[in-house]
Amino acid sequence: MTSESLPLEYGVFLDWIEAGSSVLDLGCGDGKLLSLLVREKKVKAQGIEIDEQAIYRCVAKGLSVFHQDIDNGLSEYANKSFDYVILNQSFQQVKKPDIVLTEALRVSEKVIISFPNFAHYRARVQIFFNGRTPITSSLPYEWHDTPNLHFLSILDFVEYCEKRNITIETSSFVGRNRSVKIFPNLLALTGVFLISKK
């Protein structure tokens, strides 16, 4: 795996996650991020993933992974079982994001969440001028084949955290080829947040 093939936000995860910590990746896909964290940060890793083919690819990478739905895969964990729970591009795909996030914050000290920003200017342009459901590099799907169930902006998430008494410890925003420092809700394709429960 070359570094060029890695999404920019993976660098954010590498920066934030402490070496040797325990990580639960909810919706870990083919285990690309998780295996990177194992290699670079020596984390104790566990994944949960619903797609069977993705499970095979995770196992081939040497990862421990549960073939389960994340909507109901967390209830059996004791409080604070992990140092980090990761929701990398999976938060907007769960049936009940509220419950998943509450559970994630229960079983872990910290949660790192990354999601596509629905309010990116390109999305806004497509809605406003074309009157079409937006397609951007972080929201690449047609309306009829998207795995995303929820569409949220960076501001939506910040506001949501305030309402739910969730602390945003730090955040990072990613554009097409670089990180975004100003006007993230307009310019960022992906938002990454490190959150904890107050």
Partner 1 sequence: MIASHLLPKKIGKVTQRHEHPINIPEQPSDSETNRSVGHVETLYYQFALPPNELTLESGEKLGPITVAYETYGQLNADRSNAILILHALTGDAHAAGFHKGEGKPGWWDDMIGPGKAFDTRKYFVICSNILGGCRGTTGPSSINPKTGKRYGLDFPIITISDMVQVQKHLSDHLRIDRLLSVAGGSMGGMQALEWLTAHPDRLKSAIIIATAAKHSAQQIALNEVGRQAIMADPNWKEGHYYGGHLPAKGLAVARMVGHITYMSETSMGEKFGRRLKDNAKKQKFSIDFEVEDYLHNRGNNFVKRFDANSYLYITKAIDSFDVSRGKPLQQAFKGIKARALVLAFKSDWLYPASQSLEIVKACKLAGIETTYCEIDSTYGHDAFLLEIEEESHLVKHFLQNVSSAPVVTEENEVMAYDI
For partner 1, the binding residues (CB under 8 A) are: 20, 42, 44, 46, 52, 55-56, 58-60, 62-68, 76-78, 81
- Closest to partner 1 by CB, 68 vs 146, is 68
Least spacing, CB of residue 55 vs partner 1, in Å: 5
- Closest to partner 1 by CB, 44 vs 176, is 44
Least spacing, CB of residue 113 vs partner 1, in Å: 21
- Closest to partner 1 by CB, 75 vs 177, is 75
Radius of gyration of the chain (CA): 16
Exposure letters 74-91 (e unless 16+ CB within 10 A, then b)? beebeeebbbbbbbbbbb
Q: How many contiguous H segments (helices) and E segments (strands) does the chain have?
A: 7, 7
Among 144, 147, 157, 150, smallest CA distance to 188 is for: 157
Least spacing, CB of residue 13 vs partner 1, in Å: 19
- Closest to partner 1 by CB, 52 vs 142, is 52
Least spacing, CB of residue 28 vs partner 1, in Å: 12
- Closest to partner 1 by CB, 81 vs 179, is 81
Q: Contact at 8 Å (CB) between 161 and 168?
A: yes
Least spacing, CB of residue 130 vs partner 1, in Å: 40
Burial (CB < 10 A; 0-12, 13-18, 19+), residue 154, is buried
Q: Contact at 8 Å (CB) between 105 and 83?
A: no
Alpha-carbon gap, residue 49 to 66, rounded angstroms:
6
Alpha-carbon gap, residue 131 to 85, rounded angstroms:
37
Least spacing, CB of residue 85 vs partner 1, in Å: 13
- Closest to partner 1 by CB, 72 vs 167, is 72
Alpha-carbon gap, residue 185 to 76, rounded angstroms:
36
